[in-house]
Amino acid sequence: MATKAELKDRREALLSAVRAVAEQYKRYLPLTLRQIYYQLVGAGVIENDDNSYKNLSRLLSAARTEGSLPWEVMEDRTRYTHALQSDACADDFISWQKKAFLTNYRRDLSQTQPKYLEVWIEKDALSGLFKRVCEAWHVRLVVCKGFMSTSFLHEYAERARAAWNRERDPVVIYFGDFDPSGMAMLESYADSLPEKHDVDYVVFYRAALNPEDVARYGLFHDPNALKVSDSRAAHFVERYGRYAVELDALPPDVLTQRIEESIAKYMDIERFGAEEATYRAELKRLSELKEHVMKMFELV
């Protein structure tokens, strides 16, 4: 049995490895627990099993609470708070309105694109990383959270139909786990849209994870991915073998690059650049107008 000193040394060594991961991917913070876990597994710091994952979770919770690891390193996308917007007094509201006046305009830079793009991800854990890239390209991000409900898919069908009526081709760029459910989801959506919603003109592109990603990046197997109770498991094993990987296992920089490349694959970059130029000119005009109005009402 390890002594207290040995346990302390092991704990500090693991925390040091976590800090190294955070430093390596500081441009992509906050990371999820699973992203950190897979980087440590890949580096040979911990084993790829449930106990290692649970121990890491407990360690990182304690380390952030005691201050030995910054809170900003990680995020928890599974829980939300809904804050009430309010002001302390009318003067605060007026002050905020002065600052906000003519500052919230955001031109739709995708409006002249020949294709209507949406990026879909299987689960919410990575949505923070995806959101940063999708917002920069003015592409809608859809978090599926498992298989979409009929209502949710109907809402997309309405968006796709509206785009098609404006002579824009709908394209869905999909990111999911390489496991029975993750592989079946895209096929399910592609079948359901024409069969149940009379929309047969959507192009579906699976950006990740794909079998070649597993080999190329040496991604690690998810021990819990192949559940005997999953009716899709048998078909998946027959087709791909007994090996399944989570999207989280892909390094953050590689995943970010994949998102950008997938969007660029269907994006008319020249038209996007023209919209950006128009947007910059509009922002300058709005800034000048704001300054004029503030002076006119003696609010500067």
Its pTM stands at: 0.87
| Burial class for 67, CB neighbours closer than 10 Å (0-12, 13-18, 19+) | exposed
In angstroms, rounded to a whole number, what is the distance separating the alpha carbons of residues 113 and 109?
Answer: 8
Domain extents in the chain: 4-73, 97-107+268-300, 115-265
CA distances from 268 to 113, 142, 176, 263, 275 (A): 6, 21, 25, 10, 11
Question: What is the structure's pLDDT at 129?
Answer: 94
In angstroms, rounded to a whole number, what is the distance separating the alpha carbons of residues 245 and 243?
Answer: 7
Question: What is the structure's pLDDT at 80?
Answer: 63
DSSP symbol at 39? H
Question: What is the structure's pLDDT at 278?
Answer: 97
Question: What is the structure's pLDDT at 99?
Answer: 85
Class of domain 115-265: alpha beta
Question: What is the structure's pLDDT at 95?
Answer: 85
Q: In sequence order, which residues have a C-beta less than 8 Å from that of residue 300 and are 6 or more positions away?
A: 291, 294
Tens digit of pLDDT at every position of the chain (300 positions): 788 888 899 999 999 999 999 999 999 999 999 999 999 999 999 999 999 999 999 999 999 999 999 999 998 766 666 777 888 899 888 888 888 888 889 999 999 999 999 999 998 989 999 999 999 999 999 999 878 788 889 999 999 999 999 999 999 999 999 999 889 898 899 999 999 999 999 999 999 999 999 999 999 988 777 776 777 888 888 888 888 999 999 999 999 999 999 999 999 999 999 999 999 999 999 999 988 888 887 654
Using only C-alpha atoms, the chain has a radius of gyration, in whole angstroms, of: 24
Going by C-alpha positions, the residue among 128, 166, 153 that lies closest to residue 248 is 128
**What are 141's strand-pairing partners?**
119
